[in-house]
A and B are shown apart, each in its own frame.
Chain A
Amino acid sequence: MYSLTVTFTIVITVCAYVACRALYLRYGHPLLNIVVLSAGVVIAILALCRMPYATYVPGRDIMTLLLGPATVGLAVPLYRNRHLLRKYALAIVLSVAAGAFSAMVTAGLIARFGGLPQEVVMSIVPKGVSIPFAIEIARLYDGIPALAAAFVVATGTLGSLMGATFLTRLGITNPVARGLALGTVSHAQGTAAALMEGQEQGSMAGLAMILAGILTALFAPMVMLLLN
């Protein structure tokens, strides 16, 4: 019975992923977010079958086994673009650091003074970075990984829908600056949006996304202290 439940949860998750990915690749709209859609489908099926979240946990643990090695693999695109890293070193370090830090502090302060429970505040602080980094940072400070993932996706969706317009309104026209901003603020989804503007914007966004993840992890001890 146990292994049957585990198999069932894995099968529905994989099927939801395959279907939602096909949908996204076909229409390519930022609102068709693969994570949101697939998780919605899985949650609906679990609810229909009256299965509580606890029954999903063993399957979840099996499916996320490769998340760690996949995240380590982010070093590969970073290495491939090392010439850009060197060329724009100062701008990248300064602006991504400023972006990551201001995102954490702004989100944390508004959440804190908006009266959110402590574990929700800790989950929203790393919302500007890729999910694997965000969930680990949230976990270190007793945040909730699932909430952290939700805030990451919300930020990414906002950035990919509105980012280009925001940047134009703010007078940011330099392609390097636009790419860095999109990657720093809205991680992978922002990177996809940046790629639509051009190759250079896309590469810069990809670099910024990974560096923002690293810098957010480094800043987290300080920011969390500030919020406590």
Chain B
Amino acid sequence: MEHIYINDNEVDILLNDIISLYGYDFSEYARASLGRRINRLFVLDKFVSFAELRYRVKTDPDYFSHFVEEITVNVTEMFRDPLFYKALREEVLPVLATHPFIRIWHAGCSTGEEVYSMAILLQEANLLHKSLLYATDINPKVLEKLRAGIFPLSQMKQYSENYIASGGKEVFSSYYTANYDRAKFDSNLGKNIIVSTHNLVSDRSFNEFQLIVCRNVLIYFDKPLKDKAFQLFEESLEKLGFLALGSKENLKFSPVGKKFRQLDNRQKIWRKIE
């Protein structure tokens, strides 16, 4: 991005349009990141003026859908931060195993690489058959990719390395079928995944879970919105349930933080203690 094309005032104007026309509220997103992504889109889609972008967003619902897909970050990986997955394997799944039925919510799951990673963990712990994985995102387009369970083949070498570092003992490629440049994951892994749109800004809790995974989503929110999301997670967790965040995220700054205890210092997993 060479220059700043769209300034803060224009971002405000655009966000107001979007709230009133489409009901999506991005006003409490961290502004530096949001501004950067809107400017990135402006360059990618070769707009010549802010007015042109604004007109397109207001008048073309298909473009708006593309806009949401592009300004919300959908970069994700399988077994991202392998030691995090190792901690899930060793410290969280043995606790979940004691439940007759396991409900896990992946909030802001994007294209679902982490949901499939979890399904693999559960299968290896022989828990998948009694688990439901709720995969939600604000953005319906990324959820289509998740439903298909198809990911770029070019990533598989990295994912396989991550998987092994997470303590995986199987041959990673046994979980998918390679076809041209795509890897389609075993449909058995997707069987217990329930896919739905959910907006962390505006939607409420919809179930009670033993584990909520929300990694690198809240980093895009400002402090009040972050606190609101943490509140929502707290309300959606059973007592002694687990909350898993991204490697640089922290629950301790939130008002509900005192209701949780971090598992250990290195992985960002908390347990609801009251």
The reply to whether chain A is a binding partner of chain B is: no
Q: Which residues of B contact A (CB under 8 A)?
A: none
